[in-house]
Amino acid sequence: MTTTTVSEARNNFPELLNRVGYGQERILIERHGKPIAAIISVEDLKHLEAIEDAIDSALLRRAVQENDGFVTLESIVANRAE
């Protein structure tokens, strides 16, 4: 993964987008030496969202099993945060 500063990212944004979009590179952006954001491809984003959906589905199945088929959305959200 490539790391760059906020200033460098601002100055080279079109190039960074091309590297991510066409080169499948991941760019980590730092401010004062600390990571604050990342630029990833749409493909990577879709993979991350699919993983989140799978985790959410597993949590829902577990919550339904533990509560004899009845569960509230609030309890699922609360359990996910733990």
Q: Left if phi > 0, otherwise alpha if psi is -120 to 50, otherwise beta: which for 68?
A: left
pLDDT tens across 4-51, in order?
999 999 999 999 999 999 999 999 999 999 999 999 999 999 998 888
The 3 state secondary structure assigned to 5-46 is EHHHHHHCHHHHHHHHHHHCCCEEEEECCEEEEEECCHHHHH
Q: Which CATH number, 3.50.50.60, 3.20.20.70, 3.40.1620.10, 2.40.50.100, labels domain 2-40?
A: 3.40.1620.10
Q: Which residue has the higher pLDDT, 75 or 25?
A: 25
pLDDT for position 7:
97
